[in-house]
Amino acid sequence: MPKVIKRQRASYSIEQKKEVVTYARQRGRNEAARHFDLDKSMVGRWVKASESWTSEIKNNTMRVGSGRKAYFPEAEAKLYNWVIVQRKKALAVTFVTVRLQMFEILREPDMVALYGELANNFMATFRWLTAFMKRHNLALRRRTRISQKLPEQLEESLESFYRFVIRLRIKNSIEMCNIFNMDETPVWFDMAGNFTINQKGEKTVHIRGTGNENNRFTVVLTCAADGTKLPPICIFKGKQMPRGEKAPPGVIVWFQESGWMNADLMKHYVSYLNQIRMSSGQSRLPAMMVYDSFRGHLEESVKQKFKENHVELAVIPGGLTSICQPLDVAINKPFKDNLRREWYHWMNNGGAGYTPAGNLRRAKISEVCGWVKRSWNNVSEEIIIRAFKKCGISNALDGTEDDEIYKEIDEVLDEIQNEMDNDVEEEMEIIDLNDS
């Protein structure tokens, strides 16, 4: 049996005491005291008191006589040093990565020699994590980013875009169910987000991206002004689904060399949109597609294919997607929030697992497609309808709903001005409070 203590301490966990008691009952108290380098009288007291420990363990009492000291102090010291090193590299440190790193530390040979089988009972609960952060003066923060400058001639571009949209709607009598917005958004297999654990007191917190393009794919979202959501499209790198995998129903899966939308896929997208419209008897009715000025959207062959399918294009001027694109303004965020919750649930329930080499396993394509489907399904119709109105796309033509437009513009202008005044915009961080 490994020597799990072999040092003098002021406090011992119930599990550590139980192991000493078990050893003492098998080989005697004197031998247990020598083996674990403890006082014989202490071993005797533990043997007598051992029957009362079961109830305390059931009540999540981690330590007899103390709930404040570290459960694994040497391991936590290593973990704290790891956090500091990661933050100096500007790497994100999340609740999930801290838990995983603690497990890695407890598997190190010196930790195994120190704690023995006790480490197998470590659960990395949220209670432990918050206590660890408190013990080491850590806090949750969001990263900061440098603000962008206000686009020139903003008001003129906005007015021109709104006039164009209104003309299209009046000229073609376009119904709400045929006013569409589509957008491509990158999604990473690892969705730790902007939150990190870091030292307190730092005004600027940088989080470097993974830089691993192999772990990125593209989600194409399409919705209509009446709240309709079209099935999401996931574009992955490669040529076909991995053997044995199958996408869940309700998600379209495409493959492309870079995992991103291009002109060829855009033409494929137009055919996809037309099939959806045909299924609802709308394919011969005029429609409008609102999207940004991404290069693949502006190819003449793409524009022509939209026109052949009775879809007029309203291309958002560069720099105005934060005001004029419904998905950007109010829809992508709740979708990404839902997606991140799916990822955290998968991670926290052991979905990742390990490869034969001991590395964390990347999620399967079929798994992430399920995340995308559920996340998109959980975005409400009301959010989509309001987003189109906030962007001035579907408002009443008599002007009675124009307040929605100006409210959104004012909010964006105020936000940009605040960024310009402060140079940086705070988002959120996890930090080390020891420098404050």
In DSSP notation, 322-353 reads HHH-HIIIIIHHHHHHHHHHHHHHHHHTT-S-
Residue 134 Cα distances to 192, 198, 289, 353, angstroms:
22, 12, 51, 29
Instruction: Name the stretches of the chain with pLDDT < 50.
Output: 1-10, 55-68, 144-151, 207-213, 416, 419-431, 436
Q: Is 14:64 a contact under the CB 8 Å cutoff? A: yes
pLDDT, position 61: 41
Structure tokens at 226: 């009446």
Half-sphere exposure of 159 (CA within 13 A, CB side): 4
Query: Which DSSP symbol is given to 229?
Result: B
Structure tokens at 111: 């930790």
Q: Is 205:433 a contact under the CB 8 Å cutoff? A: no
Half-sphere exposure of 25 (CA within 13 A, CB side): 11
pLDDT, position 248: 92
Residue 264 Cα distances to 244, 255, 300, angstroms:
28, 12, 12
pLDDT, position 139: 80
Structure tokens at 47: 């043997």
Cα–Cα distance, 47 to 68 (Å, whole number): 24
Task: Using alpha carbons, select from 325, 365, 370, 306 the residue that is nearest to residue 222.
Answer: 325
C-alpha angle 314-319-323 in degrees, rounded to nearest 5:
70
3-class secondary-structure state, position 51: helix
Query: Which DSSP symbol is given to 401?
Result: T
Q: In terms of DSSP bridges, do strands 138-146 and 195-199 run parallel, antiparallel, or are they unpaired?
A: antiparallel
Cα–Cα distance, 370 to 3 (Å, whole number): 47
Environment class of residue 123 by beta-carbon count within 10 Å: exposed (0-12), middle (13-18) or buried (19+)?
Answer: exposed
3-state secondary structure 52-102: HHHHHHHCCCCECCCCCCCCCHHHHHHHHHHHHHHHHCCECCCHHHHHHHH
pLDDT, position 340: 87
C-alpha angle 135-139-140 in degrees, rounded to nearest 5:
145
Domain 154-190+202-423 sits in CATH 3.40.50.150:
no
pLDDT, tens only, 3-43: 444 444 446 777 778 888 888 887 888 888 887 778 888 88
3-class secondary-structure state, position 278: helix
Task: Using alpha carbons, select from 225, 215, 209, 228 the residue that is nearest to residue 145.
Answer: 209
Q: Is 14:56 a contact under the CB 8 Å cutoff? A: yes
Q: Is 116:2 a contact under the CB 8 Å cutoff? A: yes
pTM for the whole thing? 0.58
Q: Is 103:391 a contact under the CB 8 Å cutoff? A: no
pLDDT, tens only, 59-113: 444 444 334 456 688 899 999 999 888 777 667 787 778 888 898 899 888 888 8
Cα–Cα distance, 7 to 114 (Å, whole number): 9
Q: Is 182:415 a contact under the CB 8 Å cutoff? A: no
In degrees and rounded to multiples of 5, residue 332 shows phi and psi of -60, -35
pLDDT, position 68: 46
pLDDT, position 179: 98
pLDDT, position 389: 92
pLDDT, position 97: 80
Cα–Cα distance, 386 to 377 (Å, whole number): 17
For the chain, what are the domain ranges?
Answer: 1-69, 154-190+202-423
